[in-house]
Amino acid sequence: MKLSKNIKNSDIATAAKLITIIENDRAQAANIIKDIFLHTGNAYIIGVTGSPGVGKSTLVGEMVNIFRSQNLSVGVIAVDSSSPFSGGAILGDRIRMQKHESDSTGVFVRSMATRGNLGGLAKATRDAAYIMDAMGRDIIIIETVGVGQVELDIVRLAYTSVVVLAPGMGDDIQAMKAGIMEIGDIFVVNKADHPGADDAEREIKYMLHIGMRKSGWEPEIIKTIASKGTGIKEFVEKINKHKKYLEDNNLKEKKKYGQDQLIKLIKEKLELQIIKKKKNKKIIKQIVEKIVKKEKKPYSAAEDVLKKLGLNK
């Protein structure tokens, strides 16, 4: 697979092919990423997340308009962790994005779905972002639906994480408390043409008041009407403000090459080398059977597996 060697000059069709490979074959993915990794690190990655229907895709479309008008090239990855196939929601996204798809040198839109492999979706999305980065996209926007663990993993990839809400979703804000509230850098109250936008804004402000961030950044809140393009310019300005904050405080590099990232790569490598090997799978299966028959307890069984694999000295 030498497609990846020429990634810098590659066209969208080649990049699309590479993304399909990394989605379907994790071992090949590792090789591709090895080839292209040195070309990554130039794109600015923005995560956009929120409940179904709050207007994420409309907002992303408007963001794309602004970035394109500044002559920046954009990659969009629309992730749907809820559907095992590229289903309805994504199709809707594609249609809304069509305006940009004809602008194929400037905007590259890609959908990713679970295909029954939840553990893999975050990894595949990360690698797809690497590919778009290496092919020279200035901006990469990742849209995810919902606020589960997969979305959190994906959002962590982004330098700027945007959480989109809509008025009248008070319960949603409560539910978000645990995860997304803590990692959102910018909160968008979209559909500000609906009643209750000010209430939603107040509620978010209150929730944010509770916890301070490690980075010292104070999250921003903005109201938009994405379907009319209202507030988008100000929203993109806030993204730029956050970007500048990260750069001024040397936080962008840390996020890119930090410990988290390295540990993730090591874990993935170990998984591929150890757990996914046929011979080892067999050993694991045998020990699972012993657990099921209550001949072994899980903790000591895990130790046994490591011993059998020669990893527990």
Ligand X SMILES: Nc1nc2c(ncn2[C@@H]2O[C@H](COP(=O)(O)OP(=O)(O)OP(=O)(O)O)[C@@H](O)[C@H]2O)c(=O)[nH]1
Residue 58 contacts which entry, ligand X, Mg ion, none (Cβ below 5-8 A, type-dependent): ligand X
| Strand ranges across the sheet with 186-189 | 107-113, 74-80, 139-145, 44-50, 160-165, 186-189, 220-223
Q: Quick one: 52 or 170, whose CB is closer to Mg ion?
A: 52
Structure tokens at 177: 């408390």
Number of amino acids touching Mg ion (CB under 5 A): 3
Q: Residue from 10, 49, 51, 57 that binds Mg ion (CB under 5 A)?
A: 57
Residue 119 contacts which entry, Mg ion, ligand X, none (Cβ below 5-8 A, type-dependent): none
Shortest reach from residue 143's CB to Mg ion, in Å: 6
Residue 227 contacts which entry, Mg ion, ligand X, none (Cβ below 5-8 A, type-dependent): ligand X
Beta strands in the chain (DSSP E): 44-50, 74-80, 107-113, 139-145, 160-165, 186-189, 220-223
- Please give the Cα distance from 27 to 90 (Å, whole number): 27
Can you name the residues that pair with 78 across neighbouring β-strands? 111, 143
Among residue numbers 83 through 112, which ones bind Mg ion (CB under 5 A)? 93
Cβ atoms of residues 142 and 125 within 8 Å: yes
* Pairing, β 44-50 against β 139-145: parallel
Which residue's Cβ lies closest to Mg ion?
57
Q: Quick one: 50 or 184, whose CB is closer to Mg ion?
A: 50
Residue 197 contacts which entry, Mg ion, ligand X, none (Cβ below 5-8 A, type-dependent): none
Shortest reach from residue 99's CB to ligand X, in Å: 13
Shortest reach from residue 43's CB to ligand X, in Å: 22
Q: Which stretch binds Mg ion (CB under 5 A): 53-61, 67-75, 217-225, 257-265?
A: 53-61
- Please give the Cα distance from 108 to 226 (Å, whole number): 21
Shortest reach from residue 281's CB to ligand X, in Å: 37
Residue 48 contacts which entry, ligand X, Mg ion, none (Cβ below 5-8 A, type-dependent): none
Can you name the residues that pair with 45 across neighbouring β-strands? 140
- Chain residues in the site for ligand X (CB under 6 A): 52-58, 89, 92-93, 145, 190-191, 193-194, 225-227
Q: Quick one: 28 or 83, whose CB is closer to Mg ion?
A: 83
- Please give the Cα distance from 154 to 257 (Å, whole number): 16
**Any idea which residue has 């963001």 for tokens?**
63
Residue 55 contacts which entry, Mg ion, ligand X, none (Cβ below 5-8 A, type-dependent): ligand X
Q: Which stretch binds Mg ion (CB under 5 A): 55-63, 170-178, 221-229, 287-295?
A: 55-63
Shortest reach from residue 70's CB to Mg ion, in Å: 23
Tell me how crowded residue 87 is: count the other CB atoms within 10 A of its CB.
Answer: 14
Q: Which residues contact 6 (CB under 8 A, 6 or more apart)?
A: 14
Which residue's Cβ lies closest to ligand X?
55
Structure tokens at 214: 């490690």
Tell me how crowded residue 123 is: count the other CB atoms within 10 A of its CB.
Answer: 21
Tell me how crowded residue 306 is: count the other CB atoms within 10 A of its CB.
Answer: 13
Q: Quick one: 10 or 57, whose CB is closer to Mg ion?
A: 57
For Mg ion, the binding residues (CB under 5 A) are: 56-57, 93
